[in-house]
Amino acid sequence: MGHTSTTASIARRRVVSLTTLSVTFVAVFGSSIGVDLLSRWTGSIDGIWLSNAVFLAIFLKHGRRDWMAIAIAGFTANVAADLVAYNFTYAVTFAILNLLEVLIVALPLRTMVLDRDFTRSSSLIAFYALAVGPAPGIAALLFGAFAVISEHTQFFPAAINWYSSDALGLAIVTPPLMTVKWSDVKAMFGRDQIAGTCLLLSTVLGAIVLNFFLRNYPIAFLFFPAVVLLTFQRGFAGGTAALLMTSAYLLVPALFGQSSGALHSHSIREQITVVQVFIAVLSFSVVLVGAALEERRRLGQWLAAAIARAENSREEALLAKESAEKANRSKSMFLANMSHELRTPLNAVIGFSEMMHSEIFGPLGDRRYREYTGLIQGAGKHLLDLINDVLDMSKIEAGKQELHRERLNIMDVVRDALAMMQEQAAAGQVALEIDANTAPVFIQADRRAMKQIFLNLLSNAVKFTPEGGRVCVTTQTEGDRVILSVRDTGIGIPAEQIYRLGNPFVQVRNNAGTTQTGTGLGLALVRALTEMHDGTFRIESIEGQGTTVSVSFPACARETLAA
Ligand code: ATP
Ligand code: MG
């Protein structure tokens, strides 16, 4: 299978190359002979040299590996065409000069990778610089020298004739060959465009007719709007069609020395030169306008694609956000349900172990059974605390936490919490006190939530403060807010970790100074409950010196206070 397809692709390549070669030969030969015959028939100089322009376009449209074959085909075609009128030496010399001219444009363009797209202004400018400069210039100088040596004619007329007809050919014919797509030409004359195209072409025709009848006035500028209009409406294909019509109208009479109007009194050479320059300028306008339009079209496409991309990623982000929120909600729901299911059996464990511990129905016998039931009870209570925290956190995250706000003296809550923590503080030999200023401070809040906040803050402070340390609660009013701080002289928190705290299950990493364990839910609960009360939460700490965790709430307005 593989072998067959390789053979097929080799065969296809060879066919493509063969077609290219015959096209090259026929096009170069035909345009060369045609222009030669025309100048013989009109008895004048070549008005425009086409074959190099065609030759060059074929070069530019093909890959480098085809160049050798194309060069040989074009060269042979040139020799063959010239043999019709000249001897072998002349024919070979002309063919060499033509090939040289074409390569002087093609090689630099290919090297600068500017040959691919003639709808880009950088490619066009490079092309024009080469095609009206060094390429026909160098070939013309060599041709002039050859004419002087072999024919003893004058150098300049020969060189100038070569230069002008070749520069014109390259400048006018190559860009359309590179930019006009056959599909565009077909579309231009397709069913839905043909009426408009005819109308547009008739404006060119109108310009030609006007020019013909008013030939004693210099009104050739009328061609510009007509040609530009066609380029605008039908792109390179339209512009080129207009250009062809105009060129035919102007160049053909000039070749016979029959130009109309002001040109009539000039020599045939001058007539041809003026017409050449005019057509070249017109062609340049078509190409520039076409390139600008193409650039605009590309920009439009790019913009549309960018907008589509942005739209897509916005939708994706929304979807991602939605599914993340959904996942989080269902996680919270799951936890809330699970915690509830866990609490019921746990209460049984704690309750019965308590009964056993206090030997309500008689002694347990061995002393160790009493000890064990005490441990079961302690562990059960710890587990229950944990489950309660998880339950609270998931309730908050699921948006199911309900607050029963009432006007309360927050200092009462603080004192209650302090009392509950006293035992634990004493066990850890930590002094637990409240700042002297204990004037009542009223806020609108849920009592249970407030108690939870301060119990958590105090338990942390006590837990992370070594023996002999001190934990102190202070109050402060700032404007219409009340700030409550729990200050300890404990181990502190490394500065770079403070920002992580306050999220569920986050604890300080490598906290070497402590053997304490917990779940990492305390601060997350504090933060969430605080925020639910329009409060703010803030941790300040210096490692090794102590920590201050502050919460602030809006205080009740004075009128409420007075009431
Ligand atoms: P839980 O409170 O759920 O039983 P926990 O106390 O470890 O567990 P948080 O209260 O959320 O969790 O505290 C998170 C971490 O922040 C703690 O593990 C500790 O490392 C650090 N931390 C909190 N308060 C203090 C403090 N007063 N001093 C030093 N470190 C603290
Ligand atoms: Mg804690």
Residue 2, pLDDT > 50, answer: no
Q: Which residue reads 């109050």 in tokens? A: 475
Distance 462 CA to ligand 1 centre (A): 10
HSE-CB at 172 with a 13 A cutoff on CA atoms is 29
Least confident of 44-48, 99-103, 520-524: 44-48
Ligand 1 site, residue 464, Cβ cutoff 6 A:
yes
Note the pLDDT of residue 399: 77
Note the pLDDT of residue 469: 94
Note the pLDDT of residue 456: 94
Amino acid at 434: I
**3-state DSSP of 26-93:** HHHHHHHHHHHHHHHHHCCCCCCCCHHHHHHHHHHHCCHHHHHHHHHHHHHHHHHHHHCCCCHHHHHH
| 490-493 long-range Cβ contacts below 8 angstroms, 24+ apart | 490/461, 490/464, 490/465, 490/466, 490/546, 490/547, 491/464, 491/465, 491/466, 491/543, 491/544, 492/541, 492/542, 492/543, 492/544, 492/545, 492/546, 492/547, 493/539, 493/541, 493/543, 493/547
**247 vs 3, more confident:** 247
**319 vs 436, more confident:** 319
Ligand 1 site, residue 519, Cβ cutoff 6 A:
yes
Residue 1, pLDDT > 50, answer: no
Distance CA 472, CA 528 (A): 23
| Best residue among 460, 499, 505 to mutate for probing ligand 1, ranked by most atoms within 8 Å of CB | 460
Q: Are 527 and 441 in contact (CB under 8 A)?
A: no
Give 332-346 pLDDT, tens digit per residue. 788 777 777 888 888
DSSP state of 556: P
Q: What is the residue-averaged pLDDT of the chain?
A: 86
Distance 524 CA to ligand 2 centre (A): 9
Note the pLDDT of residue 563: 42
**42 vs 451, more confident:** 451
Kindly report whether the global pTM for this prediction surpasses the value 0.75: no
Ligand 1 site, residue 520, Cβ cutoff 6 A:
yes
Distance 521 CA to ligand 2 centre (A): 7
Give 156-211 pLDDT, tens digit per residue. 888 988 898 899 889 888 988 888 888 888 888 888 889 999 999 999 999 999 98
Ligand 1 site, residue 488, Cβ cutoff 6 A:
yes
Q: Please name the residues in contact with 258: beta carbons below 8 A apart, sequence gap of 6 or more.
A: 264
Residue whose CA is at the smallest distance from ligand 1 atom 18: 507
Average pLDDT, integer, range 5-20: 60
